């Protein structure tokens, strides 16, 4: 029997896209080698509408945030697990000037939805926050391992999950689809994270720019934080009384080794934020499937339209995936055009297709 979609990878991308396709009545098999290290299983799962060193509204926040707040509770109901944790974020100011700027910003439509208020006293004994800070709303985090595991259990029970290594040598392109290990499908969609940036012979021409990240799990002497905290680094309180602290960005050393350098960088930033005594419990590392223009990669292969990609979620998979998985599902099912912002044809323009071969211009 021929199915509709084979999906390679069950990180955030493969999970949320396959769920949307199943919901639309399509038949799907998700292939995942759970011995690999995935970025999704390391990530803190934060969604935050105002981010970055310069603290600006995140790209497409006004589409992404309503979509994610609708999606995750629905997905919790499907899996029967609680992994979505809306949680306000406190951003302490480091100067009077910042305080004035954000007071002014909060009156503008652009930011008003996401700024809940200001406080001069919140965590005043725990944080170095002499200028007070602002409380961002619409933010929070997803317990990603729990989300992935609960979805996997669900689709495994229905026979839609294949725990295996996907090897490109075993993929056959047929006249009207693909075949892999005896499974015939209309299309195969690569949600293989950084796999697509190197090993994937069909999509390795996409301009990925993988970025290694490390984070710490720490225990503070006092368990006081009820908000995420963000300035220079973020501190994310967890239900077990520990906190995650992150994250580093390194596009030079793309390996999975935890480093003293990253640990020291994070601790230095954390100590600028809080003087609470702490103990480091753990250090985690992963590689974000980021792209040069920091936009996701969605689309069909320019030559073989039985091959597709849903990738490039970079540092923001939790906020990007709900909106764009829904959009890509509509594109695949209805032929609706892909949004140019995320369409891989923005990269194809820089390549020449001749005799079924892509070459860089």
Ligand X SMILES: Cc1cc2nc3c(=O)[nH]c(=O)nc-3n(C[C@H](O)[C@H](O)[C@H](O)COP(=O)(O)OP(=O)(O)OC[C@H]3O[C@@H](n4cnc5c(N)ncnc54)[C@H](O)[C@@H]3O)c2cc1C
Residues that bind ligand X (CB under 6 A): 8-14, 31-33, 36, 38-40, 42-46, 165-166, 191-193, 195, 213-215, 246-247, 286, 288-289, 311, 313-319
Q: Which residue is nearest to ligand X (CB)?
A: 11
Minimum Å gap between C-beta 266 and ligand X is 10
Closer residue to ligand X in complex, CB, 119/207: 207
Q: What burial class does residue 124 get, using C-beta atoms within 10 Å of its C-beta: 0-12 exposed, 13-18 middle, 19+ buried?
A: middle
Closer residue to ligand X in complex, CB, 134/320: 320
Q: How far is the C-alpha of 79 from the C-alpha of 353, rounded, in Å?
A: 43
Closer residue to ligand X in complex, CB, 12/105: 12
Minimum Å gap between C-beta 286 and ligand X is 3
Closer residue to ligand X in complex, CB, 124/179: 179
Apex CA 360: angle with CA 358 and CA 361, to 5°? 120
Closer residue to ligand X in complex, CB, 38/291: 38
Closer residue to ligand X in complex, CB, 63/97: 63
Minimum Å gap between C-beta 103 and ligand X is 27
Closer residue to ligand X in complex, CB, 36/263: 36
First vs last C-alpha separation in the chain? 41
Q: How far is the C-alpha of 213 from the C-alpha of 263, rounded, in Å?
A: 11
Cα within 13 Å of Cα(60), Cβ side? 17
Minimum Å gap between C-beta 196 and ligand X is 8
Minimum Å gap between C-beta 44 and ligand X is 4
- What's phi and psi for 210, nearest 5 deg? -55, 145
Closer residue to ligand X in complex, CB, 132/193: 193
Minimum Å gap between C-beta 280 and ligand X is 15
Q: How far is the C-alpha of 134 from the C-alpha of 22, rounded, in Å?
A: 41
Q: How far is the C-alpha of 89 from the C-alpha of 143, rounded, in Å?
A: 17
Minimum Å gap between C-beta 233 and ligand X is 11
Minimum Å gap between C-beta 361 and ligand X is 27
Minimum Å gap between C-beta 78 and ligand X is 18
Closer residue to ligand X in complex, CB, 40/150: 40
Minimum Å gap between C-beta 17 and ligand X is 9
Whether 206 contacts 297, CB under 8 Å: yes
Closer residue to ligand X in complex, CB, 92/228: 228
């Amino acid at each position: 029997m021929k199915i509709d979609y084979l999906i390679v990878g069950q990180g955030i991308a493969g999970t949320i896209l396959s769920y949307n396709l199943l919901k639309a009545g399509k038949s799907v098999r998700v292939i995942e080698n759970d011995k690999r290290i995935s970025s999704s299983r390391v990530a803190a799962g934060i969604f935050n509408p105002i981010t970055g060193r310069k603290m600006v509204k995140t790209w497409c926040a006004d589409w992404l945030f309503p979509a994610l707040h609708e999606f995750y509770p629905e997905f919790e109901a499907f899996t029967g697990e609680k992994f979505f944790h809306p949680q306000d974020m406190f951003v302490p100011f480091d100067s009077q000037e910042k305080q004035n700027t954000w007071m002014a910003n909060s009156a503008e439509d652009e930011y008003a939805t996401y700024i809940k208020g200001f406080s001069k006293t919140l965590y005043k004994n725990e944080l170095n926050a002499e200028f007070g800070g602002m409380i961002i709303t619409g933010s929070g985090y997803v317990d990603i391992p729990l989300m992935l595991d609960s979805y996997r259990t669900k689709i495994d029970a229905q026979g839609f999950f294949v725990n295996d290594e996907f090897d490109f040598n075993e993929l056959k392109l047929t006249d009207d689809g693909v075949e892999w290990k005896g499974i015939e499908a209309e299309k195969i969609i690569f949600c293989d994270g950084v796999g697509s940036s190197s090993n994937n012979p069909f999509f390795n021409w996409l301009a990925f720019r993988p970025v290694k990240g490390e984070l710490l799990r720490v225990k503070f002497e006092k368990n006081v934080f009820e908000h995420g905290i963000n300035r220079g680094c973020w501190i994310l309180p967890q239900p077990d009384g520990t906190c995650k602290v992150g994250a580093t960005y390194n596009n030079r050393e793309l390996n999975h080794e935890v480093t003293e350098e990253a640990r020291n960088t994070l601790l230095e930033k954390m100590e600028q934020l809080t003087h609470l005594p702490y103990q480091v419990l753990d250090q985690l590392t992963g590689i974000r499937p980021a792209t040069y223009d920091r936009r996701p990669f969605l689309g069909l292969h320019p030559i073989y339209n039985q091959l597709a990609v849903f990738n490039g979620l970079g540092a923001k998979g939790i906020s990007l995936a709900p909106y764009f998985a829904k959009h890509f599902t509509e594109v695949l099912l209805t032929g609706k055009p892909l949004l140019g912002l995320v369409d891989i044809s923005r990269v194809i323009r820089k390549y020449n297709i001749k005799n079924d071969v892509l070459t860089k211009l």
